[in-house]
Amino acid sequence: MAVDLSTTLCGVRLPNPTVLASGILGLSCEVMARVARSGAGAVTTKSCSLRPRPGHHNPTILKWEAGLINAVGLSNPGVEVMVEEIRAAKALLAPLGVPLIASIFAETIYEFGTTARFISEAQPDLIEVNISCPNVDAQYLQMFAADPYVAAQVTRRVKLNTEIPVLVKLSPNVTDVAEIARAVVEAGADGITAINSLGPGIILDIETRRPVLAHGTGGVSGPSIRPIAVRCVRDICRAVDAPVLAIGGVASGRDVVEMLLMGATAVGIGSAVAYRGVEVFHEACTEVQAYMERHGYDDLDELRGKALAFL
Amino acid sequence: MDLPQTVPIREIREDTLAIRTFVLDAELPDAEPGQFVMLWLPGLDEKPMSIAHPAPLTVTVAGVGPFTMRLHQRKVGDPVGWRGPYGRGFSLHEDGPALLLGGGCGVGPMRFLATRAVERDVPVTVALGARTENELACVGDFEALGVDVILTTDDGTRGHQGHVTQAISMFADEHPQFAVYACGPEAMLVAAHRLCREKGLPGQLSLERYMKCGFGICGQCALDGFLVCQDGPVFDVEQLDGLRDFGQARRTATGRRLPIR
């Protein structure tokens, strides 16, 4: 009997638990549809803000020995353009049964609400609130995700402005991620996305004595951060009852299962697209299915959170 | 190489007022014609550049914006970073003659492809086009390879008057079957695409889009459902049939689609 890979995230059905993480390929409707056809259970758009942002100069995204480092600087064409792109993407995704998650970012607590209201016009299935980008620290002093009170205020403001279920995306760069998770769930978040990239970090070009990223510092992602992501997901799943979209260095079915065992409802894949291509979604699902058959699991509920008892 | 490697510029050649060729202290023996490197000016920016010669790494660059103008100001010995090679290059049809079209600084990858064709004993004709005589670049490089060269200028100051794509019709009068390879401004590629499809010729066109990563994850170079950095920059003419963006729209640094001028 075929195993059931479907999962429900904040009331939205995903045909499988793999999700295209925000910031990867989520700009063009045709490319998002291609990712869905490659087996993703949901796709997340690149974070969009009220006004267009060109982001930082290149180099913005680089591969290094154990992952990626990036400081794109939240480049995006602005909410007005993204609403059209999301509408077009939804039309392409609907026949595939793949939902769309719209990621938003804003410069102030108030503006998060405005951006959420505008993006809701495109009727995304879920809204992901990016309060944890590590590359705009110099501009805004600190991430919204660094303080439980500020993170909760952003969440409230977004919830006041939309009927669509809201995921709040948290950062690993805090002393106690569970405390932030509790604050945003109490403020009304329907679910948590965790984690955003780690750091920021620095890689130098020693010949010119300069950082390789034009921005100097950048968020670290990929295989090197996965153990930290898994630990953060454990902390969050123990602290709150809300569903978790787990992200951080996931590159295979084995890694997806690891996140599900830790209690995740769905699992994001981002940097691994650089190593395995968009085929990574289909391949990871095949690997998850093989694992479930080997262990006699019929659906994801049977294995979800099963590792928490050992931690 | 995934992180940029900074190396000194070994040699700079002024091809025309606007076009220069830079030879870097780097070897890319496995690069394919049509592939590109991300060229980094430390402290400034990084842009994709087609490879004109793999070993030593050579690029031919037109000064068209802030990045390329700053590159043109660099001197021999100055450090430049590179990473790559990236993308899908040309695959040479070896069962008939090749017609290569280079418009403006599109001559760079054509030089690499012509070199490869000569190595493989594929008969090559190269058509180079520019607006006027003193904008024709790298003609000597092709003559040195011993390939046939057709020149065109918009104003007729040298070679045939008109666009470089007229070489397709001229060549078709003499050859029943051949393959077309082209790099240059997108309007030229649109014309080459149309002629290839009308005449049933196999064709491969090298496109250009704004890029960030170069390896298929930022999505900035999207051309309909294709990623120019990974699925291209070289596309078969069949792949470009009916695309919304080909010849029409490109994405800027924000990701917004804008009409191509």
The domain that contains B105 carries what CATH number? Answer: 3.40.50.80
Residue B195 and residue B124 share a domain: yes
Catalytic residue among A133, A232, A237, A285: A133
Q: What value does the mean pLDDT of chain A take?
A: 95
Average pLDDT over residues A57-64: 97
Q: What is the pLDDT of residue A151?
A: 96
Closest-CA distance, A165 to chain B, in angstroms, reads 26
Inter-chain touch B45–A34, beta carbons under 8 Å: no
Question: Tell me: the pLDDT tens digits for A263-275?
Answer: 999 999 999 999 9
Which of residues B39, B64, B86 is at a domain's end?
B86
pLDDT greater than 90 at residue A139? no
Buried b (16+ CB within 10 A) or exposed e, A181-203: bbbbbebebbbbbbbbbbbbbeb
Q: Which residue of B has its CA nearest to A65?
A: B2
Residue B259 exposed, middle or buried by CB count within 10 Å (0-12, 13-18, 19+) = exposed
Q: Which residue of A has its CA nearest to B244?
A: A30
Residue B105 and residue B74 share a domain: no
Question: Tell me: the pLDDT tens digits for A97-111?
Answer: 999 999 999 999 999
Nearest CA-CA partner of A150 in A136, A166, A132: A132
Residue B116 and residue B232 share a domain: yes
What are the pLDDT tens digits along chain B (261 aa)?
699 999 999 999 999 999 999 999 999 999 999 999 999 999 999 999 999 999 999 999 999 999 999 999 999 999 999 999 999 999 999 889 999 999 987 999 999 999 999 999 999 999 999 999 999 999 999 999 999 999 999 999 999 999 999 999 999 999 999 999 999 999 999 999 999 999 999 999 999 999 999 999 999 999 999 999 999 999 999 999 999 999 999 999 999 999 997
**Distance in angstroms (rounded) separating the CA atoms of residues B159 and B152:** 5
Average pLDDT over residues A290-310: 97
Nearest CA-CA partner of B255 in A211, A311, A76, A36: A76
Q: A230: Cβ–Cβ under 8 A, 6 or more apart, which residues?
A: A246, A248, A258, A259, A262
Is residue A37 included in any domain, yes or no? yes
With an 8 Å Cβ cutoff, the interface of chain A facing chain B consists of: 24-28, 30-31, 33-34, 46, 52-55, 57-64, 68, 72, 75-78, 81, 203, 205, 207-208, 210, 212, 214, 270-271, 273-274, 277
Q: Which residue of B has its CA nearest to A79?
A: B256
CATH number at residue A41: 3.20.20.70
Q: What is the pLDDT of residue A152?
A: 97
**Distance in angstroms (rounded) separating the CA atoms of residues B84 and A299:** 43
Q: What is the pLDDT of residue A135?
A: 73
Total number of domains in chain A? 1
Is residue A209 included in any domain, yes or no? no
Within B42-154, strands assigned E span: 45-50, 53-54, 57-62, 79-86, 98-103, 124-130, 148-153
Residue B233 and residue B145 share a domain: yes
Is residue A213 included in any domain, yes or no? no
Inter-chain touch B219–A81, beta carbons under 8 Å: no
Residue B59 and residue B116 share a domain: no
Domain of B122, in residue numbers:
98-259
Is residue A35 included in any domain, yes or no? yes
Question: Tell me: the pLDDT tens digits for A179-207?
Answer: 999 999 999 999 999 999 998 999 999 99
Indicate the residue of B38, B81, B225 with minimum beta-carbon distance to A33: B225
Q: What is the pLDDT of residue B154?
A: 94
Inter-chain touch A62–B3, beta carbons under 8 Å: yes
Is residue B93 included in any domain, yes or no? no
- Read off the tokens for B163: 């666009």
Inter-chain touch A212–B217, beta carbons under 8 Å: no
Would you place residue A140 in the very low, low, confident or very high pLDDT band (cuts 50, 70, 90)? low
Say if residue A54 is preceded by a cis peptide, omega within 30 of 0.
no
Question: Tell me: the pLDDT tens digits for A207-233?
Answer: 999 999 999 999 999 999 999 999 999
Residue B206 and residue B119 share a domain: yes
Inter-chain touch A59–B44, beta carbons under 8 Å: no
For B185, other C-beta atoms within 10 Å of its C-beta total 18
Is residue A64 included in any domain, yes or no? no
Is residue B141 included in any domain, yes or no? yes
Is residue A267 included in any domain, yes or no? yes
Which of residues B36, B51, B86 is at a domain's end?
B86
Average pLDDT over residues A165-169: 98
Is residue A219 included in any domain, yes or no? no
Is residue B20 included in any domain, yes or no? yes
Inter-chain touch B254–A76, beta carbons under 8 Å: yes
Token pair 């005449």 is at which residue?
B199
CB B178 within 8 A of CB B98: yes
Closest-CA distance, A131 to chain B, in angstroms, reads 20
Q: Which residue of B has its CA nearest to A22?
A: B218
Indicate the residue of B79, B212, B225 with minimum beta-carbon distance to A58: B212
Question: Tell me: the pLDDT tens digits for A44-54?
Answer: 999 999 999 99
Inter-chain touch A53–B254, beta carbons under 8 Å: yes
Token pair 């979604």 is at which residue?
A281
Give whichever of A144-153, A246-255, B130-139 has the largest mean pLDDT. A246-255
Inter-chain touch A61–B218, beta carbons under 8 Å: yes
Q: What is the pLDDT of residue A137?
A: 56
**DSSP 8-state assignment for residue B233:** B
Residue B234 and residue B130 share a domain: yes
- Which positions in chain B touch A50 (Cβ < 8 Å)? none
Can you give the pTM of this predicted structure? 0.95
A133 is catalytic: yes
Total number of domains in chain B? 2
Residue B107 and residue B73 share a domain: no
Q: Which residue of A has its CA nearest to B213?
A: A61
Q: What is the pLDDT of residue B261?
A: 73
- Which positions in chain B touch A210 (Cβ < 8 Å)? 42-43
Which of residues B86, B111, B135 is at a domain's end?
B86
Q: What is the pLDDT of residue A141?
A: 64
How far is C-alpha A108 from the chain's CA centre? 21
Question: What is the percent of chain A where pLDDT is above 70?
Answer: 98
Closest-CA distance, B167 to chain A, in angstroms, reads 35
Mutation to test the B interface, candidates A31, A38, A58, most B Cβ within 10 Å:
A58
Closest-CA distance, A270 to chain B, in angstroms, reads 8
Question: Tell me: the pLDDT tens digits for A114-137?
Answer: 999 999 999 999 999 999 987 765
Is residue A218 included in any domain, yes or no? no
Domain of A93, in residue numbers:
7-55+74-202+224-310
- Half-sphere exposure at residue B60, Cβ-oriented, CA atoms within 13 angstroms: 26
Residue B116 and residue B65 share a domain: no
Indicate the residue of A28, A55, A62 with minimum beta-carbon distance to B219: A28
